[in-house]
Amino acid sequence: MDANATTPLLPEVFEAMRPFYLEHYGNASSIHQQGQQARAAVDRAREAVARLLHCRPAEVVFTSGGTESDNLALFGVLAAGDHLITTSIEHHAVLHAAESLAKRGVEVTFLPVTAQGLVEPAALIATLRPNTRLVSIMYANNETGVIQPIDALAGIAHAQGALFHTDAVQAAGKLPLDIGAHGLLKDVDLLTLSGHKLHAPKGVGALFVRRNVQLSPIFHGGSHERQRRPGTENVPGIVGLGKAAEMAGEWLKGVGPARLAALRDRLEEGILAQIAQTGINGAGAPRVANTTNIYFDHVEAEALLIALDLKGLSVSGGSACQSGATEPSHVLTAMGLTAARARATLRFSLSKLTTEAEVEEALRLIPTAVARLRELSPAQSNESAALTI
């Protein structure tokens, strides 16, 4: 139950990729047939990603993943003297890129969020300046699953002449992504995707760059990806991303999303009903169907994570990218949680492969593990320490 950290390759994705490792291993820039087979495969994958997004194939730039796409979006359009607006709950790929840009003369504003984890359109309106060049606000948060009102936020940015980027890494494959003229994301200029969050391999991603947006490359080399991202294409990875995008598009049209939401709701209801002093962070806000972020007061989330891992249940405390860090999650802190409650929080993230039996098994394991840890809670163990002295 840690699909927001990563997802397994689907067998169909793996099978689509296999020939491009073993037989059609050509360089997509070569003129000979081997090269042209690779080029054709990259083009087909670009069309598949474009269909998922409802954009033109030429607007899709393949990258090495979500981190690179976020960096390309920010560094590719901003220069000293520009103003960037982003939020305090972004993934570190955006947060740290913004901090780095601030050191290079870009003015940066980090918008706060409400207790539910939402960015308020009024806060964006109040922060826009004549030199605001880019607004970057994630679509779905990786920790809480909270979905931002991107249509409203991007519309506001556009009305002021600013470009709009959204990190859609945790929305792709979970929500329809329509950047077409009549779509919810029609005012989005740049959009980040990562392969490994939607059953494609790690190390491949894409950045949607709307036609007419001037983007400077952050790498320097050949003229790949229409001069926007040099480097020999990762053909098998790109083929995998294309196949996964195609499968995600099909899945979104079927009963899958409702089934996934029902599993997540069952997990939440089961935990809240069986365990006292628990609650959902981001409850009440729109959330993607696979994610729940739950606090278990008086429990150290890290200890609970380890206890559950020993029973075969993989979950995450905060976000996987920060694991090992002792700081409470910046997302939960921005939502106003106390450090204690943030440290008592676990993220459960399901995927389309999660079964009902797995959810029932989790509901059997979690209450027992929480009860054990609460018996050893710091308050009680301090008391017994005092008694021993």
* Interior angle at CA 81, CA 79 and CA 85, nearest 5: 80
Q: List the one residue from 26, 66, 145, 328 that touches ligand PLP (CB under 6 A).
A: 66
Sign of CA dihedral 172, 178, 179, 183: negative
Contacts with ligand PLP, 70-89, as mask; x by CB under 6 A: x-------------------
Minimum distance from CB of 319 to ligand PLP (Å)? Answer: 7
Residues forming the active site:
321
Q: Is 377 exposed, middle or buried (0-12, 13-18, 19+ CB in 10 A)?
A: middle
Q: Which stretch binds ligand PLP (CB under 6 A): 34-42, 100-108, 163-171, 217-225?
A: 163-171
CA distance 3 to 13: 17
142 near ligand PLP, rule: CB under 6 A: yes
Q: Identify which range of 37-45, 66-74, 75-83, 210-218 contacts ligand PLP by CB under 6 A.
A: 66-74
Q: Binding to ligand PLP by residue 349, rule CB under 6 A?
A: no
Residue 67 is a binding residue for ligand PLP (CB under 6 A): yes
Told to check if 189 binds ligand PLP by CB under 6 A, we report no
Instruction: Find the length of the chain.
Output: 389
**Total residues binding ligand PLP (CB under 6 A):** 15
Binding mask 309-348 for ligand PLP (x = CB under 6 A): ------------x---------------------------
Cβ pair 192, 166 in contact under 8 A:
yes
91 lies in the binding site for ligand PLP (CB under 6 A): yes
373 lines the binding site for ligand PLP (CB under 6 A): no
d(CA 125, CA 141): 21
Residue 98 interacting with ligand PLP (CB under 6 A): no
| E-strand stretches of the chain | 60-63, 83-87, 107-111, 132-136, 163-167, 190-194, 205-209, 278-280, 291-296, 345-349
Closest contact distance (angstroms) between CB of 26 and ligand PLP is 25
173, 205, 240, 317: residue in contact with ligand PLP (rule CB under 6 A): 205
What are the backbone dihedrals phi and psi of residue 7, each rounded to the nearest 5 degrees, phi first?
Answer: -125, 155
Q: How far is the CB of 178 from ligand PLP (least distance, A)?
A: 19
Nearer to ligand PLP, 6 or 377 (CB): 6
Report the number of secondary-structure helices (H) and strands (E) in the chain.
15, 10
93 belongs to the binding site for ligand PLP (CB under 6 A): yes
CB 180 within 8 A of CB 186: yes
Q: Assess 293 for contact with ligand PLP (CB under 6 A).
A: no
In whole angstroms, the minimum distance from the beta carbon of 143 to ligand PLP comes to 9
H helices of 10-91, in order, are 11-17, 19-22, 33-53, 66-77
Distances (CA, A) of 211 to 134, 189, 231: 16, 8, 21
Shortest Cβ 380–ligand PLP spacing (Å): 36
Return the number of the residue (59 or 70) whose C-beta is nearest ligand PLP.
70
Which residues share a beta bridge with 279?
Answer: 295
Query: By CB under 6 A, is residue 132 in contact with ligand PLP?
Result: no
Yes or no: say if 188 and 219 are a contact pair by the CB < 8 Å rule: no
Residues that bind ligand PLP (CB under 6 A): 65-67, 70, 91, 93, 138, 142, 167, 169-170, 194, 196, 205, 321
